[in-house]
Structure 1
């Protein structure tokens, strides 16, 4: 109740933003082009994502390729095995490593393009 004994008074509540002038939004592409702090943060996130992906693929390939000599040192009897008339080390190099490079390369390109597509969607959404 109000002080004068009447029932509760109705009050119109409006958003303060209705009368305020809107600040023009800068599109993210402009932030990137002008190399502002926000634009640099967006670009840094894309570069980091691509770097993580590239290092992950290189590490996986390094483990496989680096593991082959280790395999033949730890199990020397494998060096003398023949598969289809070819020495096992050559079969593994030709049949495992090079096709593995192709598969990892295709996987990397697909995920790198996905990172770029996600970045473009993020930039378009904030525009």
Structure 2
């Protein structure tokens, strides 16, 4: 019965406390993933990060200039065509002269299509850039 006396605390005895656990920050840091180097380069604005952003900006500018050339060529060639071949300007389609039809009505779907293509390709450039940033280092 002496063993029972030791396990039950008496009025003057203090209850047994649970054992303490020591928490070390180094253990938590060791469990984290390795640093995201390209993302860090961007956030800290290092030369590597600046080069990555400059590359994205260059790609977006090149896309914009190519599509601007398409618009200038497509819409700019029509008045030139009508000036060089005046007979084409006199053609009527559904009672409307061809220059009015092409420049006044059909140019808008053309511009909307070019705008849609620009947005789609610009988003593709941005997705490629994001994939480059998220790609793990070898």
TM-score, normalised with respect to structure 2: 0.70
Cα contact 1:80–1:87 (8 A) shared by 2: yes
Indicate whether 1:115 and 2:89 are aligned.
no
Where do 5+ consecutive residues of structure 1 fail to align? 1-23
Question: 1:70: Cα distance to partner?
Answer: 0.5
TM-score, normalised with respect to structure 1: 0.76
Structure 1 residues 43-122: aligned runs within 5 Å: 43-122=53-132
Q: Deviation above 3 Å: which 4+ runs of structure 1?
A: none
Partner of 1:35: 45
Cα contact 1:46–1:115 (8 A) shared by 2: yes
Looking at structure 1, the residues matched to 135 and 90 of structure 2 have their Cα atoms a distance apart, in angstroms, of: 60
Looking at structure 1, the residues matched to 55 and 136 of structure 2 have their Cα atoms a distance apart, in angstroms, of: 15
Name whichever of 61-70 and 28-37 sits farther off.
Answer: 28-37
Where do 5+ consecutive residues of structure 2 fail to align? 1-33
Partner of 1:4: none
Which has the bigger relative contact order, CA under 8 A and spacing at least 6?
Answer: 1
Looking at structure 2, the residues matched to 126 and 70 of structure 1 have their Cα atoms a distance apart, in angstroms, of: 53
| Partner deviation per Cα, 1:6-33 (whole Å, 9 max, x = no partner) | xxxxxxxxxxxxxxxxxx7552122112
Cα contact 1:28–1:126 (8 A) shared by 2: no
Looking at structure 2, the residues matched to 121 and 27 of structure 1 have their Cα atoms a distance apart, in angstroms, of: 13
